[in-house]
């Protein structure tokens, strides 16, 4: 029941934001009533925070399965970018939740006792990849893993969250498959060029390595 409530709440908050979300709709979609909802999760703000924590838990769990430590550093970065881009495409509600919480200045996320601890192993994983790249001579210099991840996420997030307005401004459909493929290759080339000091042209049109996803998940 708790899982059904959280899934229904995720869809409701993603579609309507925190202010527009209705507990009655969440309960109905979950096949519950409000009393059951409050029993299993709590009031509306508690439910929203549980959804946020669950959203971060999900992406961090999948990132841990990328096996970056066993790839050569440039390929590890390529896989991370490919995963981040495709995760955002597969989970538009995650972007919607982030937009909602940023508008709230992370007021609810600050209450979380879980989120910060989720990110530490992931940051260390990226740090290790960068250090290996510097030691092997693949990368020119070490970079802050947090800054690197923020840059990768930003390259994906801004494009997708603003695709409607950008498509109108530039007169092209940025969500057509060929446009999305072009964007992914551009991001990979841009980041690897920054890390290696080589021209971005070197990294263009490289077949993306498939990203492993949990067996229960379809892409």
Average pLDDT over residues 127-150: 96
Topology of domain 1-42 in CATH is Arc Repressor Mutant, subunit A (1.10.10)
List the CATH code of the domain at 58-203.
1.10.357.10
Give residue 120's pLDDT: 85
Rg (CA), the chain: 19
Domain boundaries, the chain: 1-42, 58-203
Give 47-102 pLDDT, tens digit per residue. 999 999 999 999 999 998 998 999 999 999 999 999 999 999 999 999 999 999 99
Give 171-191 pLDDT, tens digit per residue. 999 999 999 999 999 999 999
Q: Is the confidence at residue 156, as pLDDT, over 50?
A: yes
Give residue 38's pLDDT: 86
> Are the C-beta atoms of residues 69 and 129 closer than 8 Å to each other?
yes
Give residue 213's pLDDT: 45
Q: Extract long-range pairs of 165-172: CB within 8 Å, 24+ residues apart.
A: none
Structure tokens at 171: 């007169």
What is the chain's length? 219
3-state helix, strand, coil in the chain (%, to 5): 75, 0, 25
> Are the C-beta atoms of residues 84 and 153 closer than 8 Å to each other?
yes
Average pLDDT over residues 24-28: 93
Average pLDDT over residues 10-16: 96
Give residue 205's pLDDT: 58
């Amino acid at each position: 029941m708790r899982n059904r409530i959280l899934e229904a709440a995720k869809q409701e908050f993603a579609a309507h934001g925190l202010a527009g979300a209705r507990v009655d709709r969440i309960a109905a979609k979950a096949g519950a009533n409000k009393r059951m909802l409050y029993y299993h999760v709590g009031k509306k703000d508690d439910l929203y925070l549980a959804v946020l924590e669950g959203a971060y838990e999900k992406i961090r769990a999948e990132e841990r399965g990328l096996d970056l430590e066993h790839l050569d550093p440039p390929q590890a970065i390529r896989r991370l970018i490919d995963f981040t881009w495709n995760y955002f495409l597969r989970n538009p509600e995650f972007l919607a939740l982030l937009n909602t919480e940023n508008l709230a200045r992370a007021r609810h996320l600050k209450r979380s006792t879980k989120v910060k601890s989720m990110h530490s192993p992931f940051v260390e994983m990226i740090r290790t990849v960068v250090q290996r790249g510097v030691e092997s001579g693949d990368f020119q210099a070490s970079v802050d893993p947090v800054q690197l991840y923020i840059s990768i996420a930003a390259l994906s997030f801004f494009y997708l969250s603003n695709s409607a307005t950008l498509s109108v401004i530039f007169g092209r459909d940025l969500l057509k498959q060929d446009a999305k493929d072009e964007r992914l290759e551009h991001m990979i080339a841009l980041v690897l060029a920054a890390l290696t000091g080589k021209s971005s042209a070197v990294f263009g049109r490289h077949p993306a390595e498939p990203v492993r996803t949990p067996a229960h998940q379809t892409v």
